Structure 1
Amino acid sequence: MDKTVYIRLRHRIQVHPNDVITIERIALIVGNKELTGKLKNIVIHEVQLSDKNMVVIDVMHVIKEIHKYDNQIDVQALGSNQTIVEIMYKKKKLSPLLFCIVWLLLFIGAGLAIMNFHEDVSMQAVHQRIYKIVTGKENAQPLILQIPYSIGLGLGMILFFNHLFKKRINEEPSPLEVEIFNYQLDLDQYVAMNENKENLNANNDHDSK
């Protein structure tokens, strides 16, 4: 039987407290069908309360567990070297009062930010100037320009964020989603590096003893 298997760790998975993490959950494994069928059920980690919110599983740990099962297996690792395991604890229900307070603060804050920006660039004076250029008349409140501008501002924000409430307008990610994605990548990289550093220190302390 061919004992060469290829594994590729997933970048991130989500589990629940007390879950048992097997190779099948954290990696794609290719090779002899009979052999991979057995390897998929090897337990890599059992989620405990001490794990807190995240656990990093290194490919070397996976290879070590495979070799415990059969040290004759030739494991070829591809792709990422770590899997970020996010532990999903039961979330508390959000208080309707707290939701309304946060929504009101964000609404007022966003409104003030837009108003202050318009005041800084003298938007009202610009509208008055445009109205005079087009009609030749003075108008302190050119609503014919201000109302469409306000509607267009709201529509522009909807198109920019690519969402209308929970409905996505098209499949293209919004700039906010791209920024969140980049932030998540940076966070995962930090968690992986920090976890490796802690494991290295723990091993050094163990060796010194």
Structure 2
Amino acid sequence: MSEEKIYIRLKKKVSLHPYQLIRMEDLAYLTGNKSIIKRIKNFPIYQITKSDKNYVVIDGFYLLEKLTDEFPHITFDVLGTTQVIVEIKIKKKQPKLFVVLPIWILLCIGSAMAIMNFHYDVNMPQVHQGLYRFLTGEEVDKPLWIQIPYSIGLGAGMILFFNHVFKKKFNEEPSPMEIEMFNYQQDLDNYVIHHENELMKKDNDPKS
């Protein structure tokens, strides 16, 4: 009888509920003999406990050890990433309006001050006056037909740059903010993996 082989591709990150029993199907995609896969999908891997707090990192070697103990006649091949981050979903309270509103006002004031300080540093009124003089040959203190379109274009340019109007996006291209958030999440995930692995080493160290 030929030895069965199951291919495993671990998910990079999953979100599960507190105290949930983690099964193989929660952590990975499986391919191979369908009758065997049905058994493996329901195989329990880890029980989330209160001490796990917000994250659990399941290592590929830990999975292989449990699977080979339970299914000794099956060969398992792990493809891709070798660790899964399990984020434990904790119910969060909705932010209160009296907390969000002052923060929103402070952000708006801060953004406005940053824009005004930039225009002051580069002496934008003088730039507009010079542009008006170049185009018309006349001297004016307030070239409104340049300043008004410029102000409208400044706001429209920011909307196009961030690719958002409230929850609506103009296209599927990610905005700079989304890219920064993605990079931040990548760094956070790497930190979680490193931190959890360090804790695991300490727990397994006989000297500790």
For normalisation by structure 2, the TM-score amounts to 0.95
The one-character-per-residue Cα deviations of 1:60-115 (angstroms, maximum 9, x if unpaired) are: 11112212312222111110010111111111121111111111000000000000
Give the match for residue 121 of structure 1.
122
Give the match for residue 136 of structure 1.
137
2-structure distance, mates of 1:56, 1:136:
69
1-structure distance, mates of 2:47, 2:7:
23
2:58 paired with 1:57: yes
Amino acid at match of 1:198: L
Q: Describe how 1:36-51 pairs up with structure 2 within 5 A.
A: 36-51=37-52
List alignment gaps of at least 5 residues for structure 1.
none
Amino acid at match of 1:158: I
The one-character-per-residue Cα deviations of 1:166-206 (angstroms, maximum 9, x if unpaired) are: 0011011111111111111121112112211221221113x
The one-character-per-residue Cα deviations of 1:113-133 (angstroms, maximum 9, x if unpaired) are: 000011111111100111111
Give the match for residue 101 of structure 1.
102
Give identity over the alignment, percent.
47
List alignment gaps of at least 5 residues for structure 2.
none
Amino acid at match of 1:22: R
SS in structure 2 at match of 1:94: coil
Cα displacement (A) at 1:3: 2.2
Give the match for residue 198 of structure 1.
199
Give the match for residue 154 of structure 1.
155
Give the match for residue 76 of structure 1.
77
Give the match for residue 180 of structure 1.
181
Cα displacement (A) at 1:2: 4.4
SS in structure 2 at match of 1:74: strand
Tell whether the 8 Å contact from 1:2 to 1:32 is kept in structure 2 after alignment: no
Q: Which moved more, 1:189-198 or 1:4-13?
A: 189-198
Moved over 2 A (4+): none
2-structure distance, mates of 1:39, 1:2:
16
SS in structure 2 at match of 1:76: strand
1-structure distance, mates of 2:47, 2:163:
40
Give the match for residue 68 of structure 2.
67
Tell whether the 8 Å contact from 2:3 to 2:75 is kept in structure 1 after alignment: no
SS in structure 2 at match of 1:173: coil
2-structure distance, mates of 1:92, 1:3:
48
2:41 paired with 1:4: no
1:133/1:127 CA distance change after superposition, 3 Å: same
2-structure distance, mates of 1:105, 1:57:
41
For normalisation by structure 1, the TM-score amounts to 0.94
Give the match for residue 20 of structure 1.
21
2-structure distance, mates of 1:204, 1:2:
36
